Amino acid sequence: MNTPAPIDQLQQRLGKPASGWRARLYAIIFESDTPKGRAFDLALIGAILLSVLVIVLTSVQSIASEYGAWLHGAEWFFTVLFTVEYIARCLCVQRPLAYARSFFGIIDLMSILPSYVSLFVPAAHVVMGVRILRLLRLFRILKLTLYIQEYSMLGDALLASRRKIFVFLSVVFLIVFLLGTVMYVVEGPEHGYTSIPTAVYWAISTMTTVGFGDLVPKTDIGRTIASFMMLLGWGILAVPTGIISSEITHQRGQRVLPLRVCRSCLSTGHDPDARFCKDCGAQL
């Protein structure tokens, strides 16, 4: 785990000012290993969570009709706050354009734009759901914790299995598409399977064992095919689990594997905490 985290790479790309108020601002906003930087991160996360809560509450009809004015005010408060933060971020890095075009820079901009747009185009209001993308910033605070190793381990397991997963998904998609079309032919529009896309949607909901029940087969042959699909989906479900399971077991094995070599007898396989060679007794 010695490779620099994406966050560090980003910071190198943005460039830290040498000194002055910009350097101090940079240390607060972009670094999280100083007390001030950590306090800023926590305050920012609090603000993000609160702004998300405002959006969620606004969506609840009964709350919106009663506290509409308060929620509207809070929304503008957070919009201004995040605008100030965005400008501060742009100011304190050496290459503002690099920040603006970075992943987090785009998210920061996208989370404040909808409010301003809504002043002119009311329909843009729905776009505000994008604001919750700011939640992705939460991952940054995780840098401080040990959890990042687990993230990378899960990521490694998925990455190492990406070919198997791609193969698996392509097979699943083919099966779902074929069986969905068969059901469209068998059940037909009179039982709700109005088109092939709808039938494929039903096939996916059946084979993933979700089973909404908004569409159900009504003919005997349709039910027979559905039964077969459910059993097949059940069996297929075992494949990704097996892939991931085997991958995690493998990674654990690799991590535990010590690569210590005895200088005396050149034997390997010593425990990480061994002080003497288990084969010849020489000091390691």
Of residues 226-245, those binding a copy of itself (CB under 8 A): 226-227, 230-231, 233-235, 237-245
Q: Please identify, using beta-carbon distances, which residue of 9 and 208 lies nearer to a copy of itself.
A: 208
For 261, phi then psi, to 5°, come to -115, 135
- Reduced to 3 states, what is the DSSP secondary structure of residue 2? coil
Q: Please identify, using beta-carbon distances, which residue of 81 and 204 lies nearer to a copy of itself.
A: 204
Residues 196-225 that bind a copy of itself (CB under 8 A): 196-198, 200-201, 204-206, 208-214, 216, 220, 223-224
Between CA 61 and CA 74 the distance in angstroms is: 17
Altogether, the residues listed in the chain come to a count of 284
Between CA 64 and CA 53 the distance in angstroms is: 12
Between CA 251 and CA 228 the distance in angstroms is: 36
Q: Which of 34, 95, 106, 150 binds a copy of itself (CB under 8 A)?
A: 150
Residues 41-80 that bind a copy of itself (CB under 8 A): 55-56, 59-61
Closest CA to 29 of 99, 76, 80, 132: 99
Q: Using an 8 Å Cβ cutoff, are 264 and 280 in contact?
A: yes
Q: Which of 107, 177, 191, 192 binds a copy of itself (CB under 8 A)?
A: 177
Residue 144 interacts with a copy of itself (CB under 8 A): yes or no: no
Residue 163 interacts with a copy of itself (CB under 8 A): yes or no: yes
Residues 180-199 that bind a copy of itself (CB under 8 A): 181-182, 184-185, 189, 194-198
